Amino acid sequence: MFSGIIADVGIITRADNREGGLRLAVQGEVLGMDDVQLGDSIAVNGVCLTVVKIDGREFTVDVSRETLNCTVGLEHQGGHVNLEKALRLSDRLGGHLVSGHVDGVGEVVAFNDIGESWRLVVRAPQQLAKYIAMKGSITINGVSLTVNHVAGSEFEVNLIPHTLDVTTLNELNTGARVNLEIDLIARYVERMMQKEVQ
């Protein structure tokens, strides 16, 4: 589990084809790796991946073809990615509970400076739109954010300067594709409301 509070922005230093998927090497700038062991999870742009090698501040992960088919931002060597280590039970939960399992890919409709913050509007896949609620939580490329407005399949969040300074969201532009994870609670509420489990 993660919180959606980004600890570092890393760079994909290698993206090697491997049995249909990719083996990625990711170099962090400030992410401490002293407490990371092989088999631990790190969220890379909101995608929970398993560490298979550690070399200083660089770690290596394998990404399956299935994961690549339902996410964006993991396939480009040189690309910047948001990084977060898995939560420990003693950690503060500053964002919201995030699983690192991307639900779908959204598209940036608008991204503009509104003075004290930036307004980001994203179009979610139709099948996810029903799970997105005003004042609810959403994860965009691994970043925990609060939904300010919903209109059909489009939703809006505000990004404060600090968030733009410490994440890759400052690289977004109209038409960019982003990883989305809906609030875990929404999925469980829907499941519990079903009259019969098939």
Q: What mean pLDDT comes out for the span 14-22?
A: 93
What CA–CA distance (Å, rounded) separates 152 from 5? 27
In the prediction, which pLDDT does 105 show?
A: 98
Query: Per-residue pLDDT for 87 more than 70?
Result: yes
Assess if CATH 3.40.50.300 describes domain 104-193. Answer: no
Sheet holding 154-159, edge to edge: 143-146, 137-140, 177-182, 104-113, 118-123, 154-159, 149-151
For the chain, which residues make up each domain, given as ranges? 8-85, 104-193
- Return the top range by mean pLDDT from 18-22, 23-27, 128-132: 23-27
- Would you say the C-alpha torsion 124, 129, 134, 140 has a positive or negative sign? negative
Is 93's pLDDT higher than 80? no
Mean pLDDT over 106-116 rounds to 96
Q: Alpha-carbon distance 159 to 27, whole Å?
A: 25
Q: Report the share of the chain in percent with pLDDT over 90.
A: 85
Mean pLDDT of 13-21: 93
DSSP 90-113: TS--SS--B-S---EEEEEEEEEE
Q: What is the mean pLDDT of residues 27-45?
A: 96
pLDDT digits (tens, 9 = 90+) for 54-85: 999 999 999 999 999 999 999 999 999 999 99
Contact predicate 113/58, CB 8 Å = no
The correct CATH number of 8-85 out of 2.40.30.20, 3.30.360.10, 3.30.1370.100, 3.40.1050.10 is 2.40.30.20
